[in-house]
Structure 1
Amino acid sequence: MHNPPPAAGREALAAKVYQAVKQSIFDFQLLPGERFSENELAQQLQVSRTPVRQALFNLEREGYVEVLFRSGWQVKAFDFDYFEELYDLRIVLECEAVRRLCAMSAADCHTALAAEQRFWAESEPLTQGKPVALADEAFHRALVAATANRQFLLLHTELTEKLSIIRRLDFTRDDRILATYQQHQAILQAILAQRCEPALRLLTLHISESKAAVRAITLHRLHQARITLQASESNEEVLRTSLR
C-alpha cells in the first residue's frame, strides 16, 4: 500500500506548487480572470490535488486567486485602486530612505550605493525585460536597505512582492527599459552629490510614472506581455544550447 508522505514532505511539496503557480501568474502564463481547476494544475505539475489545494488556499489568502463555487479557481482581476495605494506607500518609504542616505557622510553614502552605481551607470546595459525588472527591484531595495532599518526593509520587501506582476509588465516595453536606466542614473547622481530635494523629485517622478501606467493595463497588453516573455525565454534557451 502506498504510504502518504510525511508532514514535512507535504509542506515542502505544497511550497513548490505555490511558487510554481505564483511564478505562472507573474510571468503572465495565467492571466487575470483566467479560470483553471485543481486537476489541471495537478496534471501539469505531476502532483496530487492535496498540495495543489493547499498552495491555492495560500495564494487566495495573499490575494492572487479566488475560488469559484463549484467552478474551480480564477486568477483575481487587477484591483487598480489597490496597486495605486501600494505605489503611494512606496513613494513615502523610499523618499524617507533617500533623506537618510543624503544625511549620511559622503563616504558612507558612496559605499552604500557603490554596487548600484556600477550596475546602472558603468556596466553594459541589459536589454531583456525580465532581468531588468529584477535589477530594478534590487535598486529600490538597495535604497531602503542602506537605512539599516529592518522594519523599513521588511515592509518594502512585502510591497515589492505585491507589485511584482505590475512592475514586470512595465518592462516588456523597450522604451521603459531605457527610461529606467536614465532615471536611475539621475537619482544616483543626485543622492551621491547629497542633493536631497532634487533626488526626492526624481525618485517621486520615477515611481509615479510606473503608477500612472497601471491604469493603461488591458487584457490585450497582458496577452502581448505573455508573448514577449515567452519569446525572450525561447531566445535565452537557444543561446544556452548553442553554448553547450
Structure 2
Amino acid sequence: MSTVRAPSDPNAAASQDAAFRTRADQVYAQLKRDVAEFSLVPGDRFTENEISERLGVSRTPVRQALFRLQQEGYVEVLFRSGWRVLPFDFDQFEQLYDLRMVLETTAVHRLCESDHRVDRSLLDSLASIWLVPAAQRSADTVQVAQWDEAFHCALVEAAGNAEMARVHRDVTDRIRIIRRLDFTKQPRIDATYDEHAKILKAIRANRGDQAAMLLRAHIETSQAEVRKITLHQVHMARHAGRTRRPGR
C-alpha cells in the first residue's frame, strides 16, 4: 500500500530558498572583502568546510558563493583539493583601466558642457574631502582608498547616464584589489589628493579639456603603478592589514 504524502508548503520552500540566497550573498560579499583586504591572496588554498566554519554557515551557501566568484575569475576549484585564489590577470587589468579611462574622461567632458545639468551639491561634497589643507588630509589608507573609489564613481554618476555608471561600477569592483595595493604607499596618497583637487577645480570652472587631460594623466599614473605590483607586495599588504586589525 502506497503512502500518500501531503504536498509541501510552497511558501515555506520559497522562504528557505530566499534564506539560502541571502546567506550565499553574504558569503559572497565577505569573500570578496577578504580578497580586497588581502585576507585571501593569489595562491591561497582553502576548502568549503574551512569557510563554513569560519563564517558559521552551512556548505550550501558557501558553494553557491564560490561558484559565483569562480565565474567572475576570482577563484578556481581544484580536483579533490578544495579551492584556490587565482593569480592576478594583468592583461585583463590593463583592459579594464582602458575602459575606465574612456568612461571617466567622457563623463568629465559632459560635466563641463554648458547645457548639461550638474548636481553641484555632489561636486561640493567631493570638494569637502579633496579640497582641504594638507594638515586636514586623512592618513588612513583604507579610508582614502574608499574615498578615491567614491570620487571617480561620483564623477561618472553625475554625468547622468545610468548605463555608463553601471558599467563603471562593475569596472571599479573588478579592479578594487589593485587600487587598494596602490594605496599602501603614502606618496601615492599625497599625489591622489593633489590630482583630485586639480581635476575638481577644472570641472568647477567648466574646463572640460583640461579636466579630461588631468584625469587621463591621473589614471595613467595609477595604471603604471599596477604594472609594478609583485606578489611580495600582496603578502606585505596582508601583513599590514593584520597589523591594523589585530582582533581579526
Q: Which runs of 5+ in 2 are unaligned?
A: 1-11
Q: Is the 8 A contact 2:110 2:116 kept in 1?
A: no
Q: CA RMSD in A?
A: 2.1
| Structure 2 partner of 1:92 | 102
| Distance change (3 Å), C-alpha of 1:190 and 1:73 | same
1:166 to 178, 187, 191: 178
Q: Does 1:23 align with 2:36?
A: no
- TM-score w.r.t. the length of structure 2 is 0.88
Q: For 2:209 and 2:119, how far apart are their aligned partners in 1?
A: 16
| Distance change (3 Å), C-alpha of 1:96 and 1:196 | same
Q: For 1:30 and 1:111, how far apart are their aligned partners in 2?
A: 38
SS at the partner of 1:29? coil
- Read off the aligned partner of 2:209 and give its amino acid letter: E
By how many angstroms is 1:104 displaced? 3.4
Q: Deviations over 1:137-158 (max 9, x none)?
A: 1100111111111011111111
By how many angstroms is 1:111 displaced? 4.0
| Structure 1 partner of 2:154 | 142
2:216 to 197, 200, 204: 204
Q: For 2:58 and 2:48, how far apart are their aligned partners in 1?
A: 9
- TM-score w.r.t. the length of structure 1 is 0.89
Counting helix residues as a fraction of each chain, which structure ranks higher? Answer: 1
Q: Does 1:45 align with 2:68?
A: no
By how many angstroms is 1:32 displaced? 0.7
1:76 to 68, 77, 86: 86
Q: Deviations over 1:104-134 (max 9, x none)?
A: 3699474441111111003721111111111
Q: Percent identity?
A: 48
- Read off the aligned partner of 2:111 and give its amino acid letter: L
Q: Which runs of 5+ in 1 are unaligned?
A: 238-244
Number of residue-to-residue matches in the alignment: 233
Q: For 2:241 and 2:105, how far apart are their aligned partners in 1?
A: 32
Runs of 4+ in 1 over 6 A off after TM superposition: none
By how many angstroms is 1:162 displaced? 0.5
Q: Deviations over 1:182-208 (max 9, x none)?
A: 000011111111222221111001011
SS at the partner of 1:122? coil
